[in-house]
């Protein structure tokens, strides 16, 4: 079992954020999990749902909070953002999310969790990771973008189905910018 030492905060309690929260809880990766969303009641409801599963996973304090509650986080996962509309590419809605990051998310990360590692998942992930890195003035090792990890997992899954091989034994990757310019290797 994993060590239960870190405090992890998730900013953005939509589908992606809650999948991260669920995986964090099930894998026993945190001693404390803080859910932050502009819709506090949504974060509160998700925290309650996760807490109801407490008999089935390692002890963890799960709660909804605000940016003030991410103090002392070891890791902050950012999944918040304005999603695209049908037919838009990730770069089409970059302007809205860049503005959100510059005006709200990054200033609060710097203010309340300056020593945390930032894992950026919001799209366009490569652009937002770079902006977070530049504006936060953190070392590059402490601002991580999820990049093409999910795309690589999808590729490995499809290859495993076609080749009838366990996906854990396939070592294919997607490289490039997450989006239209990525490629398989």
CA distance 18 to 136: 25
Task: Measure the CA dihedral 140/145/149/154, to 10°.
Answer: -160
Residue 111 CA to residue 148 CA, distance in Å, equals 29
* Listed residue (118, 116, 112) closest to 130, CA to CA: 118
Q: What pLDDT digit, counting tens, does each position of 79-119 carry? A: 999 887 787 776 778 889 999 999 999 999 999 999 999 99
* Residue 178 annotated in active site: yes
Residue intervals of the chain classified under CATH 3.40.50.720 are 7-145
Give the Cα separation of 3 and 57 in Å (integer). Answer: 13
Please, what's the largest Cα pairwise distance for the chain?
49
Catalytically annotated residue among 115, 164, 171, 178: 178
Class in CATH terms, 7-145: alpha beta
Instruction: Report the C-alpha gap between 168 and 158 in whole angstroms.
Output: 12
Q: Is the pLDDT of residue 136 over 60?
A: yes
Q: What is the pTM of this model?
A: 0.88
The region of weakest confidence among 21-25, 90-94, 120-124 is: 90-94
């Amino acid at each position: 079992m994993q060590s239960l030492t870190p405090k992890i905060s998730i900013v953005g309690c939509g589908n992606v954020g809650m999948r991260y929260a669920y995986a964090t809880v099930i894998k026993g990766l945190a001693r404390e999990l803080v859910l932050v969303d502009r819709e506090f009641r949504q974060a509160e409801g998700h925290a309650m749902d996760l807490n109801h599963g407490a008999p089935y996973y390692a002890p963890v304090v799960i709660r909804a909070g605000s940016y003030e509650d991410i103090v002392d986080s070891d890791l902050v996962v950012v999944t918040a953002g304005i999603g695209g509309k049908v037919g838009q590419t990730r770069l089409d809605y970059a302007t809205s999310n860049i503005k959100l990051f510059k005006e709200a998310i990054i200033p609060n990360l710097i203010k309340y969790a300056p020593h945390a590692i930032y894992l950026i998942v919001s799209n366009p992930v490569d652009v937002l990771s770079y902006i977070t890195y530049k504006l936060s003035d953190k070392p590059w090792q402490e601002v991580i973008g999820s990049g093409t990890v999910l795309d690589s997992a999808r590729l490995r899954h499809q290859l495993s189905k076609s080749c009838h091989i366990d996906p854990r034994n396939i070592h294919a990757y997607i490289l490039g910018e997450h989006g239209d310019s990525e490629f398989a290797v």
